[in-house]
Amino acid sequence: MPQIDPKRLAERLVLSPEVRAALADGRPVTALESNVITHGLAYPDNVDTALAVEAAVRAGGAAPATIAVENGHLLVGLDRNAIERFATEPAIPKVSTRDLPFALARGGKGATTVASSLAIAELAGIAVFASAGIGGVHRGAAQSWDVSADLIQFTRSKVAVVCAGAKTILDLGLTAEVLETQGVPLVTYGFDEVPAFYCRGSGVPSPQRLDDLATIAQAIDLHWSLGGSGGVLVAAPIPEADALDGEAIEAAIADAVASADAEGVGGAGLTKRLMRAVDAATDGRSSRANAAVLIHTAHLGGKLAAAYAALAAPHASTRGELV
């Protein structure tokens, strides 16, 4: 069995001064993915949103750590110049966990997904990650076997994930079933259903509801203390003022799925078609809702990181080694 060389790994892991200082002092840090910068909004909206998301983490009481790959290094924490670089360079590839070793070996830039961000956050010793929406089981997965790597990574990385549920274009019921099968603890914050990204309700009942972040932080701490091998999923719905009409979106998705089936379109082609259908059904409001949910979950992620840091200080040494 190959042994991990901490020195070689440390050479690859580059913490920003803000993140390094926060981790060294035991202060809360919330990790963020960079995929939303490179594959989300157009420039300069992607920069403005990334900065607003980081500001939301700080308002919640934590230091933001946006994660990316560049020149053979794992960057944990981006400054304004780095965000601008990733926001303006075209064709930066998405890097999931399977892609990380090759992205590092080749050099160049890579935008981290939820899965790869979790793997890197754990290496850095960061306990909380925030994202707008996670990946999950795709519609038609019984034939395509299209299941996001996010769901598997939740079983591997000891990082709590704050999100607004799985993306609306996915099969939310099957996503919840896979999480249950894999033993991933799922709790909703102040809501009785598993939220549906930029729609509040999904119709999928929450297995656990808690109404305060301090209790959620305690549950996360207990999960790891009891030997839990992976993360905890904390789902909170988008605020009502920013939420989209779930029935209209579901109708648009159903029509898009039917037309795709008739034309034999699947995989990435189906995903793109569903996203276009949602954009059309909402007259473009889905982009604004996406930004709103990013900021909302980032703020909650900062608050949860602060609540967890208050509990974790006495036994912080049991988590990440590269702090």
Catalytic residues, by residue number, are: 33, 167
129 bridge partner residues: 31, 161
CA-to-CA distance for 320 and 127, rounded, in angstroms? 9
CA-to-CA distance for 135 and 131, rounded, in angstroms? 10
DSSP class per residue in 219-260:
HHHHHHHTT--S--EEE-PPPGGG---HHHHHHHHHHHHHHH
CA-to-CA distance for 264 and 79, rounded, in angstroms? 44
- Token output for 142: 């019984």
Spatial CB neighbours of 322, under 8 Å, sequence gap ≥ 6: 6, 9, 10, 13, 123, 124, 125
The DSSP 8-state label assigned to residue 108 in this structure reads S
CB-CB contact of 24 with 323 (8 Å): yes
64 bridge partner residues: 30
Query: Rounded to a whole number, what is the largest CA-CA distance in the chain?
Result: 59
The DSSP 8-state label assigned to residue 79 in this structure reads -
Q: Is 71 left (phi over 0), alpha (psi -120 to 50) or beta?
A: left
